[in-house]
Each structure stands twice: as C-alpha cells, then as structure tokens.
C-alpha cells in the first residue's frame, strides 16, 4: 500500500461492520504516529462506522460512496469501502487524495 504514494503515513484494513475488526494496521517505516497507539486502535475501529455509516444513509439518493476525507491540520484521513473491507489511510496534510484513491483501487482490482 505504501508504494502507491510517498505521502501515505499509515494504512489500515478493517473488516466490514458491524464490529469493524482490525485486519491490518501499519505506519510507514520511519514515520511516527501523531497519536498514542491505544487511541489509534480505538479510532480505526470506530471511525468507519461513524463516518461511512452516516454517509451510507444517503447512498439511495446520491449513489455509492467513493471515499471519505477528514482533513486535520496535521494529517488527512481517507476512508473507503471495498466489498470485504474498509481501507483507512492517513496522508500528509494537503495531499491530493483522488490520485491515491485511483491507484489503490487499481491495485485492489476493478471489482472493489
């Protein structure tokens, strides 16, 4: 996943809801998390349900969600669903996310 773009700080994969069990969670080598590890683990399990769960309520009217961004001063979080997982990436602040999303989707295959 980190080969997609040098601005990816973190990559996580969680199973589908409910529960969002963490399947993988990794910081880029040499990059230090900005938050404590305990908070990271709590966040990666909670945020997909909150953000994507709320947004899914609009899918009937607006169509399928491609990805969601949370832009903080110190980093950007990108979340997107595949058929089997939710991918959570943290990016360096100000990183343009669409090219990263396109590259990750091409890595995972078009059926995602």
Query: Whose structure tokens read 């700080």?
Result: 9
Architecture of domain 2-108: 2-Layer Sandwich (3.30)
What is the arithmetic mean of pLDDT over 69-89?
89
What is the arithmetic mean of pLDDT over 91-104?
91
Query: Whose structure tokens read 């069990």?
Result: 21
Query: Whose structure tokens read 């607006």?
Result: 62
Domain ranges within the chain, ordered by starting residue: 2-108
Which of 23-27, 32-36, 51-55 is predicted least confidently? Answer: 51-55
How many separate helices (H) and strands (E) can be counted in the chain? 4, 5
Residue 72 tokens read as 């903080």
pLDDT at 112: 55
- The most confident of the ranges 12-26, 50-64, 78-92 is 78-92
What is the arithmetic mean of pLDDT over 2-10?
95
């Amino acid at each position: 996943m980190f080969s997609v773009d040098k601005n990816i700080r973190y990559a996580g994969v969680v199973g589908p809801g409910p529960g969002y069990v963490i399947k993988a969670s990794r910081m880029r080598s040499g990059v230090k998390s900005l938050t404590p590890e305990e908070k990271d683990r709590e966040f990666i399990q909670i945020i997909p349900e909150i953000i994507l769960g709320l947004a899914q309520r609009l899918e009937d009217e607006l169509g399928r969600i491609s990805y969601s961004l949370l832009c903080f001063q110190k980093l950007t979080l990108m979340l997107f669903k595949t058929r089997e997982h939710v991918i959570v990436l943290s990016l360096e602040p100000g990183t343009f996310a669409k090219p990263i999303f396109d590259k990750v989707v091409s890595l995972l295959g078009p059926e995602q």
